[in-house]
Chains A and B, each alone.
Chain A
Amino acid sequence: MIEIRGLSKSYGDYPALKNVSLSIRPGEFVVILGPSGAGKSTLLRCINRLNEPSAGEVVVDGTPFSSNRRDLRLLRRSVAMIFQQHNLVKRLSVLKNVLVGRMADLSPLLTSLQLFPEADVKIALHCLEQVALAHKARSRADALSGGEQQRVGIARALAQQPKIMLADEPVASLDPKTSRTVLGYLKSSSKESNIAVLCNLHQIDYALEFGERIVGLSGGELVYDGPPSGVSRDVVRRIYPGLDDPNVLDAAQRLHERRGRGTAEPVIQRAEGGA
């Protein structure tokens, strides 16, 4: 169980994130929707403290993490991240990029001499298998296509054997077909290993297709938390204030009516039962 309690972050006087709390069950696939500047990236980067939150804490399986060095390292061991621009080291091999996910546990000296325990290499190779790229293990990362590079990014996150993976717009720079493949691998591999996923997306259709739970963020505040079936025309309007695109609104509404057997969900409601 990953609990985010009262996370806030201000840049100067500008509040980017206002008192956001979420609890995420193991293996749950949560998609965060929200306009640019709503605080989606800030939320993720505050969870693993790439950005230091102004207030709030992250509790993993009952253990809260402070900001001291030891806690930080333990926190980052159980929280993996997938980036929009993959952030692979281009000149290194695919395998070595995935091994980066193991490094928190390994000797800095031995790894620097390019020596890795056999067991960790096996884990890395298995993670590559989960994204169907084991055959590319020896290729240089920059020899791969954009979609493949992002799959390596997923494998690197898997290699950490984390409790949760934070994915910051993982398909923002990919074409629609590749995007679906990548999101498919993200979902299947996380299910296989029972890792929770917190994924920022810009595409409402992917969010409703892949997400088991949707979190709407607008102006740094939680404005929706519920199942995809609850995302009605009104919810979309609430997440994207001023959005006046009939295509998007109608599509959401149609999906909502088709899937949602009940009425629209109230704001900020825990999703019951995994879809």
Chain B
Amino acid sequence: MSVGSLRFVVNPPRGALGWWILLPVGGAALAALWWSAVGTELSLSGLINGLPWIADFLGRMLPPNFAFMEKLIKPAVETIQIAIWGTLLGIVLALPVCFFAARNLSPHAAIFHGLRQVLNVMRGINEIILALIFVAAVGLGPFAGVLAIAIHGAGMLGKFFAEAIEEIDEGPLDALRAAGAGTLQRIVFGVLPQVLPAWVGVVLYRFETNIRVSTVLGMVGAGGIGFELISSMKLFAYEDTAACVLMILILVLGADLVSSKLRAMIR
């Protein structure tokens, strides 16, 4: 197909149908969209009718109660502390597992698949749900939050650590093997130097995420600034709510900034 001096250089989809395959695919996609729009009661008029109420809510939040910010410092610090220990325990849990969960290092395919499933389950359960479980187990407070973040984070970190191991250049491992180096030496001198930059990046990203998550853990009583947020809303003290939101923004942006600076430093 050419238009003037331009030619359309795209291969038709493989298969007997060629371009006609787009017809059923497009139809199915449209049907799925329509079906889920009905299921979720998407409604433009609903949004438009709700706009004044959103404006009303925002109006009640303004001006934020800056005096309240001072009382938020302690919960904000607690939020950071939850994220620090949650991240650290997540790393401690993920580290011994990740070597066995990497396809190229795992001693057996069954171990690899089994561990990947364990990590999937840990990652599959949302932190809030884990926090509810741990609040029941160790009581209200930030420790339940630390455990929730650690478990979910270990599932995430274990998978990313293992994937980084799968991407290494195996040439140096051959060289270590040919030189008669043992398993520990192959990991310390062949694997770790290659994966360390990727791992540090993943950990920093995880820390950022954990800060965000621990700002809401308080809603289920697992410590941090979320508790202040939810109680201010229950008391209709929307100016205080605005202060909480501001504090959360400061936390999240701060974590972003610190981790991107640190990431630029390594490499």
Contacts and interface: CB of A to CB of B under 8 A. Distances in A.
Interface of A: 48, 50, 73, 76-77, 79-81, 83, 85-92, 96, 100-101, 103-104, 108-109, 111-112, 153, 156, 160
Contacts of A73: 180
B172 A87 contact: yes
A108 B197 CA distance: 23
B80 to A, nearest CB: 31
B181 interface: yes
Given A81-B175, A83-B175, A103-B182, 13 more contacts: A77-B180, A81-B178, A83-B171, A87-B171, A89-B172, A89-B194, A90-B194, A91-B194, A91-B197, A103-B181, A108-B184, A109-B184, A111-B185
Given A89-B193, A92-B193, A103-B180, A108 B175 contact: no
A87 B190 CA distance: 10
A138 B193 CA distance: 16
A50 B178 contact: yes
Interface in B154-206: 169, 171-172, 174-185, 188-190, 193-194, 196-197
B138 to A, nearest CB: 36
A101 B174 CA distance: 12
A255 B51 CA distance: 91
A237 to B, nearest CB: 34
Contacts of B183: 108
B176 A103 contact: yes
Contact of A92 (B181, B184, B189): B189
Contacts of B185: 103, 108, 111-112
30 contacts: A50-B177, A76-B177, A76-B178, A76-B179, A76-B180, A80-B178, A80-B179, A85-B171, A87-B172, A87-B174, A88-B175, A89-B189, A90-B194, A91-B194, A91-B196, A91-B197, A92-B189, A92-B193, A100-B175, A101-B179, A103-B179, A103-B182, A104-B181, A108-B182, A108-B183, A108-B185, A109-B184, A111-B185, A112-B185, A112-B188
A112 B194 contact: no
A104 B180 contact: yes
Contacts of B178: 48, 50, 76, 79-81
Contacts of A109: 184
A21 to B, nearest CB: 22
A87 B193 CA distance: 13
Contacts of A96: 189
Given A83-B171, A108-B185, A160 B193 contact: no
Contact of B179 (A108, A112, A160): A160
B171 A100 contact: no
B267 to A, nearest CB: 10
B15 to A, nearest CB: 31
Contacts of B179: 76, 80-81, 100-101, 103-104, 156, 160
A147 B261 CA distance: 35
B174 A50 contact: yes
A129 B171 CA distance: 25
Nearest to A100: B179
Nearest to B196: A91
A50 B185 CA distance: 17
9 smallest beta-carbon distances between A and B, as pairs: A104-B180, A87-B171, A76-B180, A87-B175, A81-B178, A91-B193, A103-B181, A108-B184, A112-B188
B164 to A, nearest CB: 14
Given A96-B189, A103-B185, A156 B180 contact: no
A152 to B, nearest CB: 11
Interface in B103-147: none
Contact of B190 (A76, A80, A89, A153): A89
A73 B182 CA distance: 9
Contacts of A111: 185, 188-189
Contacts of B172: 87-90
Contacts of A50: 174, 177-178
Residue of B180, B189, B194 most packed against chain A (CB within 10 A)? B180
A187 B174 CA distance: 23
Nearest to B178: A81
Contact of B174 (A83, A92, A103, A112): A83
A153 B175 CA distance: 9
A139 to B, nearest CB: 15
B209 to A, nearest CB: 27
Contacts of B176: 100, 103
Nearest to A106: B185
Nearest to A85: B171
Contacts of B190: 89
Contacts of B197: 91
A65 to B, nearest CB: 12
Contacts of A103: 176, 179-182, 185, 189
Most A C-beta atoms less than 10 A away, residue of B175, B182, B196: B175
